[in-house]
Amino acid sequence: MAHEAKDLTQKCRDYRDSSDARARGFYPYFRRIDDTAGNYVICEGERKIMIGSNNYLGLAQDERVIEAACEATRKFGAGCTGSRLLNGNIQLHEQLEEALATFLDRDAVLLFSTGFFANQGALSTLTEEGDSILCDRENHASIIDGCLFAPGKLVPFRHNSAESLRNRLKRQPAGCGKLVVLDGVFSMSGDIADLPPIISAAKEFRALTYVDEAHSLGVLGPKGKGTVHHFGLNDEVDLVMGTFSKSFGAMGGFIAGKKEVIEYLKHKARCVIFTASLAPAVAGSVLKALEIMQAEPGRIDQLWRNTRKMHAGFASLGFKIGTTQTPIVPILIGSEAKAFQFTQRLYEEGVFATPAIYPAVRYGEAIVRTSFLASHTEADLDHVLEIFARLARELGTFEDPAYSDPGRRKNVFDFNLPHTNGTEDVRADSGDAPWNGSGVHPSVPR
């Protein structure tokens, strides 16, 4: 008798979310970009202002960065075709590691092919069975996945709460290894980590500390060194992770820390040993981007001028932007369907933005995630604000329960605009704004 087995592809045939959204005319993902020109992209022959990018300093399109990528390719080829451990370690890799270590005032740096790999590789390598990884509930998916790959136990703590962290640390078994990991800037909310009390709590329990600076390099701290330097805690934080896909305008990631830790990761992290090394073009472009960032601090100053303008602009229009303190500005819409519709109308009006829905945000609190760049002009930003104001009136954004009845949320994900699926009370702590110490530590440069 033949053995019966579960059909693993049945869920694929049952999946309807994307096709339903396409049928309703507001599928917002995998939009094809045919050309890029500064702050604009060309899609379907039309120019759109890009406010969905993490290219904070505008370096992805800088001609000097592009030429450095071309020169690296001419010298070393299109790829390294192997891991750094074996045959893929080129001069540019070591130069970039040395430059980053100097920039961040760290002993050593190890490159990874992606930021996702950096978190996965480091977190899964540093802990062992019986250890605990204490993880902020709003950490990026790459951190969460890194924790799930790790043999240590994942222990979440309340977002940006040193008190919650301390309570979790107290409950860990005596003698176990403890690692506290969190974003320096949280990618959905734009919150800045309240590092001083969090690091203090970690040190009280002798926990290793690890800060993901993906969205804070080039944005916060002296010369864009990140959140750790913003708070003056470089000597207190054990490990720093960073990416090249935001302010540096490329791709890839790294871990920075003490020499012995980096040496261990070089020889034990599977995401280094068993994958091809960073492409020469990427290493060359990031080296040049790092050089420009340090030589032209006016880019960071302009980024913050634009950030302050958009914070004030959206708030004056009546939009809720949460507790953001950074160039990441989440615009609360509420209904998932309305967030998709709002994003589609922005696109039709010449603005490229992206929605974020559950599980990236809470049910019924879908957002249009915007982010602003040093290279955006005053005219760009004024135009964006004018379109948001007009669409909010057209689509009835402020009539959504997220604005009119914020104590209750729809708890069903669907692509239908009519609200026919009922509501339920939000969890007791879900409506609380994350505390990020803004009253204690100045977060936005003046």
Digit-coded pLDDT (tens) for 18-55: 898 889 888 899 999 999 988 999 999 999 999 999 99
Classify residue 57 by its DSSP letter: T
Instruction: Kindly state the percentage of the chain with pLDDT values over 90.
Output: 83
Strand-pair partners of 334: 366
Average pLDDT for residues 265-270, to the nearest whole number? 96
- CA–CA gap between residue 211 and residue 419 (Å, rounded): 40
Alpha helices, DSSP H, located in 372-423: 378-395, 401-404
Cβ neighbours for 350, distance < 8 A, ≥ 6 positions apart: 46, 47, 48, 49, 387
Q: Is the pLDDT of residue 316 over 70?
A: yes
What is the pTM for the complete model shown? Answer: 0.89
Q: Is the pLDDT of residue 281 over 90?
A: yes
Q: Would you place residue 406 in the very low, low, confident or very high pLDDT band (cuts 50, 70, 90)? A: confident
The gap from C-alpha 419 to its chain's centroid, in whole angstroms, comes to 31
- CA–CA gap between residue 58 and residue 13 (Å, rounded): 41
Parallel/antiparallel/unpaired status of strands 208-212 and 239-243: parallel
Q: Is the pLDDT of residue 420 over 90?
A: no
Structure tokens given for 170: 């107290």
Classify residue 61 by its DSSP letter: G
Cis peptide before 434 (omega within 30 of 0): no
